[in-house]
Amino acid sequence: MAIILAPMEGLLDFVLRDVLTRVGGIDRCVSEFIRVTDTLLPERVFIRVVPELLRGGCTAAGVPVRPQLLGSDPACLADNAARVAGMGADGVDLNFGCPAKVVNRHGGGAALLQDPELLFAIVKAVRAAVPKQQMVSAKMRLGFADDSRAEECALALQEGGAGEIVVHARTRADGYRPPAYWHRIADIRSQVRVPLIANGEIWNAQDAQQCRLESGCDTLMLGRGMVSNPGLALEICAASAPIAPIARVFNGPPMPGLAWSEVQVHISHFWHLVRSHLEARQQAGRLKQWLNFLRRHYPPAQQAYEGLKTEIDVRVFDAWVSAQPLNAGQV
């Protein structure tokens, strides 16, 4: 079994990747997308989004981070993929799943699922530009308006040369509304040869079990569930045991996960990184953003969020973090 940390624009950046991979259970990360239009980006752009490239392409905990590119021009994507591959990444990921309207209006992300021939052309060009020993992977949804071309799109990615495909088990029209249609990943698996990775609506170990059973995938990608519960990957690993090549089962009651006191330690480290690396205008919002997710799983996070949600003065946040049981230097 392997667990991958999802790319989430505006949320799962290098700061949160650092924190969540320190917790454990994550085997690989995919960066938030790097938008490619009509130019070869300078190395500093890739480093800004994936500073892990400066340390061999891994987080401080040693977990590989695969940069993700978003665009629709095969030649330009190929040029940029070759550049970032040469900077030490273990491979390059391609975004065919972003549902954002501003991205889709410009022909990127999930909008490309309406054109399987272009999917093929993009992956083929990128695969030719990236050294053979490095992976070219892709992330897709089940479709744009509906899922009628899901298998066709996955086959186009495979034939273009993608070595693995993440399938977010919803269409662009579905957005992030539950449920995720994990059984449709199994339909795709029946037609493609490359490994598939299941993604979407995995909030706990029971969800992970059901997703594996319905999708037939051993490897999962976690996004909002991991942000809300930083111990989720460890819970899934601890609660799973192999019983067949394509399925695992949940054994016993849910694992207790990280105690709030443990999460507080990671919040302190998170705040230290935010204060050190992000612009002042972003700092308060980033901590409120994470607390907003954490309150789904931790009642004390709800209390903290309610007390801080209208604050903008970082000194108030400094004081709140300093009052937590351990400081960042003890992580």
- Whether the Cβ atoms of residue 88 and residue 53 lie closer than 8 Å to each other: yes
Q: Are 237 and 204 in contact (CB under 8 A)?
A: no
| Distance between CA atoms of residues 109 and 144, nearest Å | 10
Rounded Cα distance between 114 and 156, Å, is 12
* Token pair listed for 301: 């996070």
Looking at residue 39, what DSSP letter applies?
S
Residue in this structure with the two tokens 């490239």, named with its chain if needed: 53
Q: Just list the catalytic residues.
A: 98
CA 313 to chain centre: 30
How far apart CA 137 and CA 66 sit, in angstroms, is: 9
Residue 138 pairs in a beta bridge with 94, 165
Alpha-helix residue ranges (DSSP H) falling in the chain: 14-23, 43-49, 74-85, 101-105, 116-129, 150-160, 182-189, 205-215, 224-228, 232-238, 260-277, 280-294, 299-308, 314-322
**Residues 227, 297: Cα–Cα separation, whole Å:** 10
Torsion angle defined by CA atoms of residues 279, 284, 285 and 287, in that order, rounded to the nearest 10 degrees: 110
CB 153 within 8 A of CB 145: no
